[in-house]
């Protein structure tokens, strides 16, 4: 049986951390973000839980948005976000929904809209806003339980990504699942380079301000069984747990053998860069220390986009 350990290399100083194949920046000067490491690297800029707010986002090769595009999924709210995302200069922009993007969970919204909206919005119109040929022509890709592959440069590496908007039951919002539904929901996630989920895995950047680990145990278990877990897993949902860690997956020796007659080489230590990219401040961190106690704006200090640079030659079997 495989064992997963959360080796929390959180912040080295106040900036982030580096590995031989990844450079992660959690805190930096927005006016002077770290420079792109070069042609053999791909820069991923990670955001989440923007809730129809707009703010400055560092340039990069790929933008990843892990859901809660809006406050309550109304068409005008979604439109603000999509127009903002279209305006950003990243060549590829991958987005998913979250529990606040209500009409994008069409079946749930049909039965439950009245608990959140005075009148029903058009799920079809809103889906067309986030997922259209015009968006795709601008590199803006919406994924809902889907896999996608892309390259950021001619002849460059092809990256695989999967996007899932789901999370454990959390107040009866959209894209929730009950504990007994968790395995069926997460088992559809394939082995890819980059994983976007709205909710976190259990015990990884998932602690609420009420001291509850709200992440999904089934998601953590599913990822731990993968021979090649993702290089990068981006999520949000639990705003107050925003940050990034290196998560090491330790493969038990007996799991190396796939048959009695064949045994694979030792995989070594496999790692996933885990990023809670929530941008809307929540909890104690939402208030600046000192006199006045001013509130930090969405995407402000401590809730900036997280920058992850990955070496193009990085493999999922051993980071």
- Element containing residue 101 per DSSP (H, E): none
Look at residue 290 in the predicted model and tell me its pLDDT: 72
Report the distance separating Cα 52 and Cα 80, nearest Å.
Answer: 6
- Cβ atoms 129, 79 nearer than 8 A: yes
**Token pair 């395995």 in the structure block, residue:** 183
Look at residue 212 in the predicted model and tell me its pLDDT: 94
Dihedral angle at the C-alpha atoms of 29, 60, 229, 155, nearest 10 degrees?
A: -150
- For residue range 148-198, list pLDDT tens digits in order: 999 999 999 999 999 999 999 988 999 999 999 999 999 999 999 999 999
Regarding beta strands 243-250 and 3-5, do their DSSP bridges make them parallel or antiparallel, or are they unpaired? antiparallel
Look at residue 258 in the predicted model and tell me its pLDDT: 36
Closest CA to 175 of 131, 145, 203: 145
Look at residue 318 in the predicted model and tell me its pLDDT: 60
Closest CA to 170 of 143, 146, 200, 130: 200
DSSP one-letter string for 102-113: GGGSHHHHHHHG
- Cβ atoms 206, 254 nearer than 8 A: no
Q: Report angle CA 240, 165, 296 to the nearest 5 degrees.
A: 25
- For residue range 53-72, list pLDDT tens digits in order: 999 999 999 999 999 999 99
Report the distance separating Cα 124 and Cα 50, nearest Å.
Answer: 22
Look at residue 293 in the predicted model and tell me its pLDDT: 78
Residues of the chain below pLDDT 50: 1-14, 252-267
């Amino acid at each position: 049986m495989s064992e997963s350990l959360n080796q929390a290399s959180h912040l080295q100083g106040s900036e982030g951390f580096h590995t031989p194949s990844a450079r992660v920046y959690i805190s930096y000067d927005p006016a002077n973000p770290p420079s792109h490491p070069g042609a053999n690297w791909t820069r991923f800029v990670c955001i989440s839980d923007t809730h129809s707010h707009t703010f400055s986002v560092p340039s990069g090769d790929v933008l990843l948005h892990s859901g809660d595009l809006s406050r309550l999924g109304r068409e005008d709210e979604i439109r603000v976000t999509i127009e903002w995302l279209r305006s950003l200069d990243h060549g590829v922009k991958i987005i998913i929904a979250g529990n606040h993007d209500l009409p994008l969970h069409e079946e749930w919204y049909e039965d439950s809209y009245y608990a959140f909206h005075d009148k029903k919005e058009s799920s079809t119109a809103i889906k067309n806003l986030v997922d259209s040929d015009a968006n795709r022509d601008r590199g803006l890709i919406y994924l809902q339980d889907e896999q996608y592959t892309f390259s950021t440069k001619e002849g460059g590496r092809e990256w695989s990504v999967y996007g899932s908007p789901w999370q454990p039951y959390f107040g009866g919002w959209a894209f929730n699942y009950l504990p007994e539904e968790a395995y069926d929901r997460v088992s559809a996630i394939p082995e890819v380079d980059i994983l976007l989920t709205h909710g976190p895995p259990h015990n990884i950047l998932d602690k609420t301000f009420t001291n509850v680990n709200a992440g999904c145990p089934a998601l953590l278990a599913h990822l731990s069984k993968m021979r090649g877990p993702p290089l990068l897993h981006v999520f949000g949902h639990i705003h107050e747990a925003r940050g990034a860690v290196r998560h090491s997956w330790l493969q038990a020796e007996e799991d190396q053998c796939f048959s009695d007659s064949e045994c694979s080489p030792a995989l070594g230590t496999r790692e996933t860069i885990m990023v809670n990219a929530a941008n809307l401040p929540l909890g104690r961190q939402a208030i600046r220390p000192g006199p006045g106690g001013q509130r930090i704006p969405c995407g402000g200090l401590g809730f900036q986009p997280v920058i992850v640079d990955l070496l193009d030659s990085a493999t999922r079997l051993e980071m």
